[in-house]
């Protein structure tokens, strides 16, 4: 193992979902786990086993998967204060979770021990020791999170250290110092981490919340100054309770580029912008355009001498090259770096654009125009591929739309129903079909399927898995532009498609039409390959 390796522990699916406006379905979580594994996150904390039906279903899916890089982590607490460790249901659920590793938290603050969980200090130490010792029978690796450690250390340093010692003696493989209230400043936090490093032998981790706006700085500072810190905990885009957690999309680039640490799989830092935006789309959050490293405006230069200067010598106006983190410099959006990325992406679709720079330029201009209108293709790979195929003349037109109409009605029973009529041409035939649904998009989907299923029976394999709507400019109220993202699957492959319009039905149709066309294209191609 490289000496400069820092283990990244992602808690987006557990701590991140405690954010007031983040809610992820089981499917959302599985998509994010796949992305985290692909980029090379060492540990993915997915939640409390059996704490709720959603997490129970998630763990059941994960038991059937085998990730080639990431370790799946189950999160839990120490035994209950009056329980026998072997009979504690929380610990039994951790053992039965099927996770690769367990992260268990215990109280490191005497205040919390006596006033919150209402037990005595010695019993809390026993709870930590016995729980970890018990779990070590079933897991080769245990991570101990010292909850409220920094505040506990400031209140009673000796006792806070005793909680770490108890975990260490029981066999914990990492001791994680948690600033659960997020109130420490970098110099204050560093003093604590340095003092602890002299008292324990076990590798340290740090877990900072952002209530003082210092979570990223505290994390980077701790890794830079204290050699024993080998694990960082945080979330994608800093999602988390109150003001959020330490943002891994800022921490990882700082550690890899500025401090020469290895966090991700070799060469994968260039995918972190895509990861950030993918997570935003899946979580149905508006991405922060000014987010360091990965924000859409992180390398944007606006007019005048500055823009002129950066075009001559970018290093004079930027702290890193945006390509290192997979981002782009906006004023150079149509230059060679953008063209190369289009060429590489097209190769994934089996399209060679190396010698057709005219088509590449056309694609770049189209992307620039569409992104200006609100499109984003990070989580809409299906729509992006169709756009590439359209420009090169390789997009198959399965049907031509004449028109569609949607009616909504409320019955006397108070039930809302939608009725959609779709008129399409297939070959020389005009087909009209009508269907009812529980909403306008569902009705449109059903009507379109009825219209084309005789010609394309493969559509039965294509299912809509998720549907998200985002208002892009809320201040315009009902006249705002909306973005619709549809996630679809054929049971083996998943793809995203996108639509943008002032009219939510029009945006939904765009995404739906792309979803069906992309699905038919790939299902038919898969069928040909299997013959």
Cβ proximity of 273 and 294 under 8 Å: yes
Bridge partners (DSSP) of residue 421 are 405, 434
Residue 94 to residue 109: CA distance in whole angstroms: 24
Beta strands 416-426 and 400-410, pairing class = antiparallel
Cβ proximity of 290 and 297 under 8 Å: yes
Cβ proximity of 388 and 363 under 8 Å: yes
The rounded percent of the chain whose pLDDT value lies above 90 is 71
Do domains 7-282 and 333-394+462-531 share one topology? The answer is: no
Look at residue 100 in the predicted model and tell me its pLDDT.
97
Q: Give the CA diameter of the chain.
A: 83
Residue 391 to residue 500: CA distance in whole angstroms: 19
Look at residue 50 in the predicted model and tell me its pLDDT.
66
- Enumerate residue ranges in the chain where pLDDT < 50: 1, 303-308, 331-337, 530-531
Task: Enumerate helices (H) and strands (E) in the chain, giving the number of each.
Answer: 17, 14
What lies within 8 Å, CB to CB, of 267 at 6+ separation is none
Look at residue 368 in the predicted model and tell me its pLDDT.
80
Residue 527 to residue 310: CA distance in whole angstroms: 50
Report CA-CA distances (Å) from 35 to 6, 73, 344, 361, 399.
19, 16, 19, 29, 34
Look at residue 309 in the predicted model and tell me its pLDDT.
54
Cβ proximity of 164 and 109 under 8 Å: no
Residue 513 to residue 507: CA distance in whole angstroms: 10
The architecture (CATH level 2) of 333-394+462-531 comes to: 2-Layer Sandwich (3.30)
pLDDT digits (tens, 9 = 90+) for 353-388: 988 889 988 988 888 888 888 888 877 889 989 999
Looking up tokens 């590489």 gives 344
Three-state secondary structure call for residue 158 = helix
Look at residue 286 in the predicted model and tell me its pLDDT.
80
Look at residue 415 in the predicted model and tell me its pLDDT.
87
Cβ proximity of 490 and 465 under 8 Å: no
Query: In the chain, what are the domain boundaries?
Result: 7-282, 300-331, 333-394+462-531, 399-455
CATH of domain 7-282: 3.20.20.70
Three-state secondary structure call for residue 267 = coil
Confirm whether pTM is higher than 0.75. Answer: no
Residue 134 to residue 495: CA distance in whole angstroms: 43
The rounded percent of the chain whose pLDDT value lies above 70 is 92
CA dihedral of 109, 174, 34, 367, whole degrees rounded to 10: 70
Three-state secondary structure call for residue 236 = helix
Look at residue 441 in the predicted model and tell me its pLDDT.
92
Say which DSSP state 476 is in.
Answer: G
Looking up tokens 């189950």 gives 74
Look at residue 107 in the predicted model and tell me its pLDDT.
97
- Measure CA of the first residue to CA of the last residue in the chain; give whole Å: 46
- Angle (CA) 478 484 485, round 5°: 160
CATH of domain 399-455: 3.30.160.740
């Amino acid at each position: 193992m490289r000496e400069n390796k820092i283990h990244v522990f992602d808690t987006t699916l557990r701590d991140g979902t405690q954010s007031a406006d983040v809610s992820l379905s089981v499917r959302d979580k599985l998509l994010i786990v796949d992305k985290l594994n692909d980029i090379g996150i060492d540990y993915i904390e997915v939640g409390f086993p059996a704490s709720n039906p959603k997490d129970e279903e998630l763990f059941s899916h994960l038991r059937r998967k085998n990730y080639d890089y990431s370790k799946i982590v189950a999160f839990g607490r120490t035994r209950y204060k009056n329980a026998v460790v072997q009979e504690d249901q929380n610990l039994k659920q951790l053992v039965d979770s099927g996770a690769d590793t367990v992260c268990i938290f215990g109280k490191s603050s005497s205040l919390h021990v006596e006033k919150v969980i209402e037990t005595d200090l010695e019993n809390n130490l026993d709870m930590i020791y016995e729980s970890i010792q018990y779990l070590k029978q079933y897991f080769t690796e245990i991570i101990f999170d010292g909850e409220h450690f920094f505040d506990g250390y400031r209140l009673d340093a000796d006792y806070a250290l005793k909680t770490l010692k108890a975990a260490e003696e029981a066999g914990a493989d990492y001791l994680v110092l948690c600033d659960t209230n997020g109130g420490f400043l970098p110099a204050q936090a560093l003093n604590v981490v340095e003092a602890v490093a002299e008292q324990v032998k076990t590798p340290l981790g740090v877990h900072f919340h952002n209530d003082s706006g210092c979570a990223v700085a505290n994390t980077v500072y701790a890794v830079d100054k204290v050699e024993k810190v080998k694990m960082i905990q945080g979330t994608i885009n800093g999602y988390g309770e109150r003001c959020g957690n330490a943002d891994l999309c800022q921490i990882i680039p700082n550690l890899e580029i500025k401090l020469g640490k290895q966090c991700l799989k070799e060469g994968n830092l260039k995918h972190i912008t895509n990861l950030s935006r993918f997570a935003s789309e899946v979580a149905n959050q508006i991405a922060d355009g000014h987010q360091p490293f990965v924000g859409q405006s992180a390398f944007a230069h606006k007019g005048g001498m500055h823009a002129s200067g950066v075009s001559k010598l970018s290093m004079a106006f930027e702290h890193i090259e945006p390509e290192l983190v997979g981002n782009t410099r906006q004023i150079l959006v149509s230059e060679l770096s953008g063209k190369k990325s289009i060429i590489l992406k097209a190769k994934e679709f089996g399209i060679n654009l190396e010698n057709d720079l005219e088509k590449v330029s056309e694609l770049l201009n189209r992307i620039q125009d569409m992104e200006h209108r609100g499109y984003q293709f990070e989580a809409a790979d299906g729509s992006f591929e169709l756009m590439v195929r359209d420009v090169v003349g390789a997009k198959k037109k399965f049907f031509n739309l004449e028109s569609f109409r949607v009616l909504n009605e409320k019955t006397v029973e108070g039930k809302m129903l939608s009725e959609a009529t779709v008129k399409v041409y297939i070959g020389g035939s005009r087909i009209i079909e009508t269907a009812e649904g529980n909403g306008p998009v569902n009705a449109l989907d059903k009507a379109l399927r009825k219209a084309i299923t005789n010609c394309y029976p493969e559509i039965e394999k294509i299912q809509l898995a998720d549907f998200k709507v985002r208002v892009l400019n809320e201040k315009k109220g009902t006249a705002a532009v909306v973005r619709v993202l549809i996630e679809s699957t054929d049971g083996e492959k998943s793809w995203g498609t996108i639509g943008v319009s002032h009219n939510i039905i029009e945006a939904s149709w765009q995404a739906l039409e792309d979803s069906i066309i992309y699905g038919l294209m790939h299902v038919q191609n898969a069928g040909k390959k299997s013959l």
